[in-house]
Chains A and B, each alone.
Chain A
Amino acid sequence: SQEVKYHDEL
Protein backbone atom coordinates (compact mmCIF):
# COMPACT_ATOMS: atom_id res chain seq x y z
CA SER A 1 0.00 0.00 0.00
CA GLN A 2 1.16 3.52 -0.65
CA GLU A 3 2.93 4.58 2.50
CA VAL A 4 1.09 7.54 4.01
CA LYS A 5 3.43 10.46 3.41
CA TYR A 6 3.27 12.41 6.60
CA HIS A 7 5.74 12.83 9.42
CA ASP A 8 3.89 11.71 12.52
CA GLU A 9 6.93 12.20 14.74
CA LEU A 10 8.01 15.41 16.37
Chain B
Amino acid sequence: MNIFRFAGDMTHLISILVLLLKIYATKSCSGISLKTQELYAIVFVARYLDLFTDFISVYNTVMKLVFIGCSLAIVWCMRLHRVVRRTYNKDVDTFRHYFLVLGCFLLALFVHEKFTFQEVLWAFSIYLEAVAILPQLVLLQRSGNVDNLTVQYVFFLGAYRAFYILNWIYRYLTEPHFGRWIASVAGLVQTALYADFFYYYFISWKNNAKLQLPA
Protein backbone atom coordinates (compact mmCIF):
# COMPACT_ATOMS: atom_id res chain seq x y z
CA MET B 1 0.00 0.00 0.00
CA ASN B 2 1.49 3.34 -1.00
CA ILE B 3 0.37 6.84 -0.19
CA PHE B 4 -0.99 7.45 -3.71
CA ARG B 5 -3.25 4.43 -3.53
CA PHE B 6 -4.40 5.24 0.00
CA ALA B 7 -5.13 8.84 -1.05
CA GLY B 8 -6.98 7.46 -4.09
CA ASP B 9 -9.11 5.14 -1.99
CA MET B 10 -9.89 7.94 0.47
CA THR B 11 -10.93 10.41 -2.23
CA HIS B 12 -13.04 7.66 -3.76
CA LEU B 13 -14.68 7.07 -0.38
CA ILE B 14 -15.20 10.84 0.06
CA SER B 15 -16.87 11.10 -3.35
CA ILE B 16 -19.37 8.40 -2.38
CA LEU B 17 -19.99 9.95 1.06
CA VAL B 18 -20.52 13.40 -0.55
CA LEU B 19 -23.13 11.86 -2.81
CA LEU B 20 -24.86 10.02 0.05
CA LEU B 21 -24.77 13.25 2.10
CA LYS B 22 -26.32 15.25 -0.74
CA ILE B 23 -29.13 12.75 -1.26
CA TYR B 24 -29.76 12.23 2.46
CA ALA B 25 -29.51 15.89 3.50
CA THR B 26 -31.49 17.39 0.65
CA LYS B 27 -33.74 14.34 0.13
CA SER B 28 -33.18 15.07 -3.53
CA CYS B 29 -31.16 13.49 -6.32
CA SER B 30 -31.64 16.26 -8.86
CA GLY B 31 -28.55 16.62 -11.01
CA ILE B 32 -27.45 13.05 -10.27
CA SER B 33 -27.43 10.50 -13.08
CA LEU B 34 -29.05 7.24 -11.95
CA LYS B 35 -27.42 5.53 -14.94
CA THR B 36 -23.93 6.42 -13.72
CA GLN B 37 -24.83 5.08 -10.28
CA GLU B 38 -26.13 1.84 -11.79
CA LEU B 39 -22.93 1.48 -13.81
CA TYR B 40 -20.86 1.92 -10.65
CA ALA B 41 -22.91 -0.71 -8.84
CA ILE B 42 -22.18 -3.12 -11.73
CA VAL B 43 -18.48 -2.16 -11.63
CA PHE B 44 -18.16 -2.98 -7.92
CA VAL B 45 -20.16 -6.22 -8.05
CA ALA B 46 -18.21 -7.44 -11.11
CA ARG B 47 -14.85 -6.47 -9.63
CA TYR B 48 -15.23 -7.64 -6.05
CA LEU B 49 -16.29 -11.22 -6.82
CA ASP B 50 -13.11 -12.33 -5.05
CA LEU B 51 -14.49 -10.80 -1.85
CA PHE B 52 -15.21 -14.24 -0.38
CA THR B 53 -12.49 -16.25 -2.08
CA ASP B 54 -9.29 -14.20 -1.75
CA PHE B 55 -8.64 -12.53 1.58
CA ILE B 56 -6.05 -9.79 1.01
CA SER B 57 -6.41 -7.57 4.10
CA VAL B 58 -9.06 -6.31 6.48
CA TYR B 59 -8.77 -2.88 4.86
CA ASN B 60 -9.33 -4.39 1.41
CA THR B 61 -12.35 -6.41 2.48
CA VAL B 62 -13.94 -3.59 4.49
CA MET B 63 -13.50 -1.06 1.66
CA LYS B 64 -15.01 -3.51 -0.87
CA LEU B 65 -18.05 -4.02 1.35
CA VAL B 66 -18.40 -0.25 1.82
CA PHE B 67 -18.15 0.47 -1.92
CA ILE B 68 -20.64 -2.25 -2.87
CA GLY B 69 -22.99 -1.28 -0.02
CA CYS B 70 -22.95 2.46 -0.75
CA SER B 71 -23.35 2.12 -4.51
CA LEU B 72 -26.31 -0.24 -4.08
CA ALA B 73 -27.78 2.06 -1.41
CA ILE B 74 -27.56 5.05 -3.78
CA VAL B 75 -29.26 3.14 -6.60
CA TRP B 76 -31.92 1.87 -4.17
CA CYS B 77 -32.47 5.43 -2.89
CA MET B 78 -32.85 6.93 -6.36
CA ARG B 79 -35.14 4.18 -7.58
CA LEU B 80 -37.29 3.31 -4.58
CA HIS B 81 -37.08 5.89 -1.78
CA ARG B 82 -40.56 7.42 -1.80
CA VAL B 83 -39.31 11.04 -1.49
CA VAL B 84 -36.01 10.95 -3.36
CA ARG B 85 -37.27 9.03 -6.39
CA ARG B 86 -39.71 11.81 -7.22
CA THR B 87 -36.79 14.23 -7.62
CA TYR B 88 -35.11 12.04 -10.24
CA ASN B 89 -35.56 13.65 -13.64
CA LYS B 90 -35.30 10.80 -16.13
CA ASP B 91 -35.94 13.15 -19.06
CA VAL B 92 -32.40 14.57 -18.77
CA ASP B 93 -30.70 11.29 -17.83
CA THR B 94 -31.04 9.78 -21.28
CA PHE B 95 -27.60 8.34 -21.97
CA ARG B 96 -28.01 4.81 -23.42
CA HIS B 97 -25.69 3.26 -20.84
CA TYR B 98 -26.54 -0.34 -21.78
CA PHE B 99 -24.39 0.14 -24.86
CA LEU B 100 -21.51 0.97 -22.53
CA VAL B 101 -22.10 -2.26 -20.60
CA LEU B 102 -22.25 -4.33 -23.79
CA GLY B 103 -19.20 -2.65 -25.34
CA CYS B 104 -17.08 -3.08 -22.24
CA PHE B 105 -18.12 -6.73 -21.88
CA LEU B 106 -17.22 -7.48 -25.50
CA LEU B 107 -13.87 -5.71 -25.07
CA ALA B 108 -13.22 -7.72 -21.90
CA LEU B 109 -13.88 -10.93 -23.83
CA PHE B 110 -11.00 -10.03 -26.14
CA VAL B 111 -8.64 -8.06 -23.89
CA HIS B 112 -8.03 -9.52 -20.43
CA GLU B 113 -5.16 -10.86 -18.37
CA LYS B 114 -6.41 -14.47 -18.29
CA PHE B 115 -9.44 -16.05 -19.91
CA THR B 116 -11.15 -17.02 -16.66
CA PHE B 117 -14.59 -16.00 -15.37
CA GLN B 118 -13.11 -13.79 -12.65
CA GLU B 119 -10.46 -12.15 -14.84
CA VAL B 120 -12.84 -11.37 -17.69
CA LEU B 121 -15.29 -9.77 -15.24
CA TRP B 122 -12.41 -7.91 -13.60
CA ALA B 123 -11.33 -6.46 -16.98
CA PHE B 124 -15.00 -5.69 -17.75
CA SER B 125 -15.31 -3.77 -14.47
CA ILE B 126 -12.12 -1.80 -15.23
CA TYR B 127 -13.36 -0.78 -18.69
CA LEU B 128 -16.84 0.00 -17.42
CA GLU B 129 -15.50 2.18 -14.63
CA ALA B 130 -13.54 4.21 -17.17
CA VAL B 131 -16.74 5.21 -18.99
CA ALA B 132 -19.25 5.04 -16.12
CA ILE B 133 -19.08 8.80 -15.56
CA LEU B 134 -20.30 9.61 -19.09
CA PRO B 135 -24.03 9.70 -18.29
CA GLN B 136 -23.28 12.00 -15.35
CA LEU B 137 -21.11 14.35 -17.45
CA VAL B 138 -23.74 14.44 -20.19
CA LEU B 139 -26.37 15.27 -17.56
CA LEU B 140 -24.18 18.05 -16.13
CA GLN B 141 -23.66 19.39 -19.65
CA ARG B 142 -27.43 19.41 -20.23
CA SER B 143 -28.43 20.94 -16.94
CA GLY B 144 -25.82 23.74 -17.20
CA ASN B 145 -25.55 25.13 -13.69
CA VAL B 146 -25.38 22.39 -11.10
CA ASP B 147 -25.27 22.40 -7.33
CA ASN B 148 -21.92 22.32 -5.58
CA LEU B 149 -22.24 18.89 -3.99
CA THR B 150 -22.72 17.26 -7.39
CA VAL B 151 -19.70 19.12 -8.76
CA GLN B 152 -17.61 18.06 -5.76
CA TYR B 153 -18.79 14.48 -6.23
CA VAL B 154 -17.46 14.42 -9.81
CA PHE B 155 -14.30 16.27 -8.76
CA PHE B 156 -13.38 13.73 -6.05
CA LEU B 157 -14.25 10.88 -8.40
CA GLY B 158 -11.79 12.26 -10.96
CA ALA B 159 -9.13 12.91 -8.32
CA TYR B 160 -9.32 9.29 -7.09
CA ARG B 161 -8.39 7.85 -10.46
CA ALA B 162 -5.67 10.46 -10.94
CA PHE B 163 -4.12 9.31 -7.64
CA TYR B 164 -4.35 5.71 -8.87
CA ILE B 165 -2.32 6.60 -11.95
CA LEU B 166 0.42 7.94 -9.66
CA ASN B 167 0.09 4.69 -7.70
CA TRP B 168 0.62 2.59 -10.87
CA ILE B 169 3.66 4.65 -11.85
CA TYR B 170 5.07 4.24 -8.33
CA ARG B 171 4.41 0.47 -8.31
CA TYR B 172 5.84 0.09 -11.80
CA LEU B 173 9.03 1.77 -10.62
CA THR B 174 9.30 -0.13 -7.34
CA GLU B 175 7.87 -3.62 -8.03
CA PRO B 176 9.69 -5.84 -10.58
CA HIS B 177 6.69 -7.88 -11.67
CA PHE B 178 4.16 -5.11 -11.67
CA GLY B 179 2.42 -5.01 -15.04
CA ARG B 180 -1.09 -3.64 -14.62
CA TRP B 181 -1.55 -2.42 -18.20
CA ILE B 182 -5.27 -2.96 -18.48
CA ALA B 183 -6.04 -0.88 -15.38
CA SER B 184 -3.40 1.76 -16.20
CA VAL B 185 -4.59 2.38 -19.77
CA ALA B 186 -8.26 2.37 -18.73
CA GLY B 187 -7.38 4.64 -15.79
CA LEU B 188 -5.72 7.12 -18.17
CA VAL B 189 -8.80 7.12 -20.41
CA GLN B 190 -11.00 7.62 -17.35
CA THR B 191 -8.97 10.57 -16.05
CA ALA B 192 -8.85 12.09 -19.54
CA LEU B 193 -12.66 12.03 -19.64
CA TYR B 194 -12.66 14.17 -16.51
CA ALA B 195 -9.97 16.50 -17.83
CA ASP B 196 -12.33 18.93 -19.57
CA PHE B 197 -14.64 18.85 -16.56
CA PHE B 198 -11.66 19.59 -14.31
CA TYR B 199 -10.72 22.50 -16.59
CA TYR B 200 -14.13 24.14 -16.28
CA TYR B 201 -14.25 23.35 -12.55
CA PHE B 202 -10.89 25.04 -12.03
CA ILE B 203 -11.93 28.09 -14.12
CA SER B 204 -15.17 28.49 -12.16
CA TRP B 205 -13.29 28.01 -8.88
CA LYS B 206 -10.67 30.61 -9.91
CA ASN B 207 -13.32 33.14 -10.95
CA ASN B 208 -15.29 32.16 -7.89
CA ALA B 209 -18.26 31.71 -10.18
CA LYS B 210 -20.72 28.89 -10.46
CA LEU B 211 -19.69 26.09 -12.80
CA GLN B 212 -20.65 26.97 -16.38
CA LEU B 213 -20.33 24.00 -18.73
CA PRO B 214 -20.51 24.81 -22.45
CA ALA B 215 -23.87 23.62 -23.76
A9 adjacent to B177 (CB under 8 Å): no
Interface of B is mostly: helix
Query: Which one, A1, A3, A5, A8, contacts B60 given CB within 8 A?
Result: A8
Contact A9:B50 (CB < 8 A) given known A1-B177, A3-B177: no
Query: What residues on B are CB-neighbors of A9 within 8 Å?
Result: 5, 164, 167, 180, 183
A10 adjacent to B64 (CB under 8 Å): yes
- CB contacts under 8 Å to A, within B43-73, are 47, 50, 54, 56, 60, 63-64, 67
Chain B residues near A (Cβ < 8 Å): 5, 9, 12, 47, 50, 54, 56, 60, 63-64, 67, 113-114, 122, 164, 167, 177, 179-180, 183
Query: Which one, B50, B63, B164, B177, contacts A7 given CB within 8 A?
Result: B50
Query: What residues on A are CB-neighbors of B63 within 8 Å?
Result: 10
Count A interface residues, CB 8 Å. 8
A10 adjacent to B114 (CB under 8 Å): no
- Per the bound structure, the CA–CA distance linking A3 and B122 in Å amounts to 17
A8 adjacent to B56 (CB under 8 Å): yes
Q: Which residue on A lies nearest to B118, using beta carbons?
A: A7
Residue from A1, A3, A5, A9 having most chain B Cβ neighbours under 10 A: A9
- Per the bound structure, the CA–CA distance linking A1 and B56 in Å amounts to 19
A10 adjacent to B50 (CB under 8 Å): no
How far in angstroms is the closest Cβ of chain A from B52? 13
